[in-house]
Structure 1
Protein backbone atom coordinates (compact mmCIF):
# COMPACT_ATOMS: atom_id res chain seq x y z
CA UNK A 1 0.00 0.00 0.00
CA UNK A 2 1.07 3.59 -0.51
CA UNK A 3 2.00 4.73 2.98
CA UNK A 4 3.11 8.16 1.80
CA UNK A 5 -0.25 9.06 0.21
CA UNK A 6 -1.93 10.28 3.45
CA UNK A 7 1.12 12.44 4.14
CA UNK A 8 0.98 13.97 0.66
CA UNK A 9 -2.78 14.57 0.91
CA UNK A 10 -2.39 16.17 4.35
CA UNK A 11 0.47 18.40 3.18
CA UNK A 12 -1.38 19.48 0.03
CA UNK A 13 -4.58 20.25 1.94
CA UNK A 14 -2.71 22.05 4.73
CA UNK A 15 -0.65 24.12 2.28
CA UNK A 16 -3.67 25.15 0.21
CA UNK A 17 -5.67 26.23 3.24
CA UNK A 18 -2.73 28.01 4.85
CA UNK A 19 -1.97 29.99 1.69
CA UNK A 20 -5.63 30.73 0.93
CA UNK A 21 -6.23 31.82 4.51
CA UNK A 22 -3.21 34.11 4.57
CA UNK A 23 -4.20 35.54 1.19
CA UNK A 24 -7.69 36.29 2.54
CA UNK A 25 -6.25 37.95 5.64
CA UNK A 26 -4.13 40.14 3.37
CA UNK A 27 -7.33 41.27 1.63
CA UNK A 28 -9.03 41.94 4.98
CA UNK A 29 -6.18 44.12 6.21
CA UNK A 30 -6.09 46.10 2.96
CA UNK A 31 -2.81 44.64 1.73
CA UNK A 32 -2.19 43.45 -1.80
CA UNK A 33 -3.06 39.72 -2.01
CA UNK A 34 -0.34 37.48 -3.41
CA UNK A 35 -2.96 35.33 -5.21
CA UNK A 36 -5.75 36.91 -7.25
CA UNK A 37 -9.14 36.59 -5.57
CA UNK A 38 -12.29 36.18 -7.66
CA UNK A 39 -15.07 38.72 -7.30
CA UNK A 40 -17.65 35.93 -6.95
CA UNK A 41 -15.85 34.50 -3.95
CA UNK A 42 -15.50 37.86 -2.26
CA UNK A 43 -19.16 38.72 -2.90
CA UNK A 44 -20.21 35.83 -0.66
CA UNK A 45 -18.63 37.52 2.34
CA UNK A 46 -20.88 40.54 2.82
CA UNK A 47 -19.97 40.73 6.47
CA UNK A 48 -16.33 41.20 7.41
CA UNK A 49 -16.56 39.11 10.57
CA UNK A 50 -17.50 36.04 8.51
CA UNK A 51 -14.49 36.47 6.23
CA UNK A 52 -12.19 36.96 9.21
CA UNK A 53 -13.58 33.86 10.93
CA UNK A 54 -13.31 31.63 7.88
CA UNK A 55 -9.84 32.81 6.91
CA UNK A 56 -8.52 32.53 10.47
CA UNK A 57 -9.94 29.00 10.67
CA UNK A 58 -8.27 28.14 7.35
CA UNK A 59 -4.90 29.38 8.63
CA UNK A 60 -5.17 27.59 11.97
CA UNK A 61 -6.35 24.30 10.46
CA UNK A 62 -3.78 24.54 7.66
CA UNK A 63 -1.00 24.88 10.22
CA UNK A 64 -2.40 21.99 12.28
CA UNK A 65 -2.53 19.76 9.21
CA UNK A 66 1.04 20.63 8.27
CA UNK A 67 2.20 19.92 11.83
CA UNK A 68 0.21 16.64 11.99
CA UNK A 69 -1.63 17.80 15.10
CA UNK A 70 -5.39 17.52 15.73
CA UNK A 71 -5.88 16.24 12.17
CA UNK A 72 -9.43 14.84 12.67
CA UNK A 73 -10.53 18.09 14.33
CA UNK A 74 -9.04 20.12 11.48
CA UNK A 75 -10.73 17.92 8.90
CA UNK A 76 -14.07 18.30 10.66
CA UNK A 77 -13.69 22.09 10.87
CA UNK A 78 -12.62 22.40 7.23
CA UNK A 79 -15.31 20.11 5.79
CA UNK A 80 -18.06 22.75 5.41
CA UNK A 81 -15.53 25.23 4.04
CA UNK A 82 -14.32 22.69 1.49
CA UNK A 83 -17.88 21.90 0.37
CA UNK A 84 -18.64 25.62 -0.02
CA UNK A 85 -15.46 26.18 -2.02
CA UNK A 86 -16.34 23.26 -4.28
CA UNK A 87 -19.93 24.42 -4.83
CA UNK A 88 -18.81 28.00 -5.48
CA UNK A 89 -16.47 26.85 -8.23
CA UNK A 90 -18.97 24.41 -9.71
CA UNK A 91 -21.85 26.89 -9.96
CA UNK A 92 -20.41 30.42 -10.01
CA UNK A 93 -16.72 30.68 -10.79
CA UNK A 94 -15.18 27.90 -12.89
CA UNK A 95 -11.70 29.42 -12.87
CA UNK A 96 -10.37 27.31 -9.97
CA UNK A 97 -12.49 24.21 -10.49
CA UNK A 98 -9.45 21.88 -10.75
CA UNK A 99 -8.21 23.19 -7.38
CA UNK A 100 -11.67 22.65 -5.90
CA UNK A 101 -11.63 19.05 -7.16
CA UNK A 102 -8.18 18.59 -5.60
CA UNK A 103 -9.51 19.90 -2.27
CA UNK A 104 -12.48 17.52 -2.37
CA UNK A 105 -10.22 14.62 -3.30
CA UNK A 106 -7.69 15.28 -0.52
CA UNK A 107 -10.35 16.05 2.07
CA UNK A 108 -12.42 12.98 1.20
CA UNK A 109 -9.37 10.72 1.22
CA UNK A 110 -8.21 12.02 4.61
CA UNK A 111 -11.71 11.70 6.06
CA UNK A 112 -11.66 8.09 4.89
CA UNK A 113 -8.21 7.47 6.39
CA UNK A 114 -9.24 8.99 9.75
CA UNK A 115 -12.77 7.53 9.69
CA UNK A 116 -12.29 5.63 12.96
CA UNK A 117 -11.87 8.94 14.77
CA UNK A 118 -15.40 9.93 13.76
CA UNK A 119 -17.25 6.72 14.69
CA UNK A 120 -18.11 7.91 18.20
CA UNK A 121 -19.75 11.02 16.76
CA UNK A 122 -22.20 8.79 14.90
CA UNK A 123 -23.36 6.68 17.87
CA UNK A 124 -27.11 6.52 18.21
CA UNK A 125 -26.99 6.43 22.00
CA UNK A 126 -24.11 8.26 23.68
CA UNK A 127 -22.17 6.78 26.55
CA UNK A 128 -23.54 7.67 29.96
CA UNK A 129 -21.32 9.78 32.16
Structure 2
Protein backbone atom coordinates (compact mmCIF):
# COMPACT_ATOMS: atom_id res chain seq x y z
CA UNK A 1 0.00 0.00 0.00
CA UNK A 2 1.50 3.40 -0.95
CA UNK A 3 2.28 5.99 1.77
CA UNK A 4 -0.16 8.85 2.08
CA UNK A 5 1.15 12.35 1.43
CA UNK A 6 -0.64 14.97 3.49
CA UNK A 7 -4.07 14.77 2.02
CA UNK A 8 -7.30 15.87 3.65
CA UNK A 9 -7.42 12.90 5.96
CA UNK A 10 -3.95 13.51 7.49
CA UNK A 11 -4.53 16.12 10.20
CA UNK A 12 -2.44 14.65 13.03
CA UNK A 13 0.44 17.15 12.67
CA UNK A 14 -1.57 20.31 12.19
CA UNK A 15 -0.51 23.07 14.57
CA UNK A 16 2.57 21.21 15.77
CA UNK A 17 4.93 24.04 14.80
CA UNK A 18 2.75 26.59 16.59
CA UNK A 19 2.72 24.52 19.78
CA UNK A 20 6.51 24.09 19.68
CA UNK A 21 6.99 27.82 19.09
CA UNK A 22 4.72 28.75 22.00
CA UNK A 23 6.70 26.35 24.18
CA UNK A 24 10.03 27.96 23.33
CA UNK A 25 8.94 31.62 23.55
CA UNK A 26 9.43 31.83 27.36
CA UNK A 27 12.93 30.38 27.01
CA UNK A 28 13.80 32.86 24.27
CA UNK A 29 12.51 35.78 26.37
CA UNK A 30 14.47 34.57 29.39
CA UNK A 31 17.64 34.39 27.30
CA UNK A 32 17.07 37.91 25.93
CA UNK A 33 16.53 39.24 29.49
CA UNK A 34 19.74 37.54 30.69
CA UNK A 35 21.76 39.01 27.82
CA UNK A 36 20.26 42.46 28.47
CA UNK A 37 21.18 42.21 32.16
CA UNK A 38 24.78 41.34 31.23
CA UNK A 39 24.89 44.38 28.94
CA UNK A 40 23.60 46.61 31.76
CA UNK A 41 26.19 45.25 34.20
CA UNK A 42 28.99 45.96 31.73
CA UNK A 43 27.64 49.43 31.04
CA UNK A 44 27.40 50.15 34.78
CA UNK A 45 31.06 49.20 35.29
CA UNK A 46 32.07 51.42 32.38
CA UNK A 47 29.91 54.28 33.64
CA UNK A 48 31.28 54.04 37.19
CA UNK A 49 34.89 54.01 35.97
CA UNK A 50 34.38 57.01 33.70
CA UNK A 51 32.56 58.98 36.41
CA UNK A 52 35.36 58.24 38.89
CA UNK A 53 37.96 59.36 36.36
CA UNK A 54 36.12 62.63 35.70
CA UNK A 55 35.60 63.23 39.44
CA UNK A 56 39.32 62.68 40.18
CA UNK A 57 40.34 65.08 37.41
CA UNK A 58 37.91 67.72 38.69
CA UNK A 59 39.14 67.30 42.26
CA UNK A 60 42.74 67.68 41.10
CA UNK A 61 42.05 71.18 39.78
CA UNK A 62 39.91 72.25 42.73
CA UNK A 63 36.43 71.71 41.28
CA UNK A 64 33.62 69.66 42.83
CA UNK A 65 34.02 65.90 42.44
CA UNK A 66 30.30 65.25 42.87
CA UNK A 67 29.30 67.69 40.14
CA UNK A 68 31.86 66.31 37.69
CA UNK A 69 30.75 62.72 38.27
CA UNK A 70 27.06 63.68 38.21
CA UNK A 71 27.48 65.29 34.80
CA UNK A 72 28.24 61.85 33.35
CA UNK A 73 25.75 59.70 35.28
CA UNK A 74 21.97 59.99 35.28
CA UNK A 75 20.02 60.28 38.52
CA UNK A 76 18.39 56.86 38.04
CA UNK A 77 21.69 55.12 38.84
CA UNK A 78 21.65 56.14 42.57
CA UNK A 79 25.28 57.26 42.49
CA UNK A 80 27.43 58.05 45.51
CA UNK A 81 30.79 59.82 45.19
CA UNK A 82 33.64 59.97 47.70
CA UNK A 83 36.76 62.05 47.03
CA UNK A 84 39.89 62.27 49.14
CA UNK A 85 43.39 63.65 48.84
CA UNK A 86 46.45 61.80 50.10
CA UNK A 87 50.03 62.74 49.34
CA UNK A 88 49.19 65.00 46.43
CA UNK A 89 46.89 62.43 44.77
CA UNK A 90 43.14 63.03 44.53
CA UNK A 91 41.26 59.74 44.66
CA UNK A 92 37.61 59.43 43.66
CA UNK A 93 35.39 56.43 44.31
CA UNK A 94 32.03 56.22 42.55
CA UNK A 95 29.46 53.63 43.53
CA UNK A 96 26.38 52.75 41.45
CA UNK A 97 23.69 50.25 42.32
CA UNK A 98 23.40 47.22 40.06
CA UNK A 99 20.30 47.72 37.89
CA UNK A 100 17.72 45.00 37.36
CA UNK A 101 16.55 45.25 33.71
CA UNK A 102 16.71 49.07 33.69
CA UNK A 103 18.42 51.83 35.70
CA UNK A 104 16.29 52.92 38.62
CA UNK A 105 15.15 49.41 39.50
CA UNK A 106 18.16 48.16 41.41
CA UNK A 107 18.87 45.28 43.76
CA UNK A 108 21.27 47.12 46.06
CA UNK A 109 24.50 45.48 44.92
CA UNK A 110 27.13 48.21 44.46
CA UNK A 111 29.29 48.55 41.37
CA UNK A 112 32.33 50.69 42.10
CA UNK A 113 34.78 52.64 40.03
CA UNK A 114 37.93 54.20 41.44
CA UNK A 115 40.39 56.65 39.90
CA UNK A 116 43.20 58.96 40.95
CA UNK A 117 44.80 62.08 39.60
CA UNK A 118 47.77 64.16 40.81
CA UNK A 119 46.84 67.43 42.48
CA UNK A 120 47.46 70.45 40.28
CA UNK A 121 49.66 73.11 41.83
CA UNK A 122 48.12 76.57 42.11
CA UNK A 123 50.24 79.42 40.82
Alignment TM class, shorter chain as reference: 0.3 to 0.5
**More relative contact order, 1 or 2 (CA 8 Å, 6+ apart):** 1
Using the size of structure 1 for normalisation, the TM-score is 0.32
TM-score scaled by length of structure 2? 0.33
Give the structure with higher Rg (CA): 2
Higher percent of residues as strand: 2
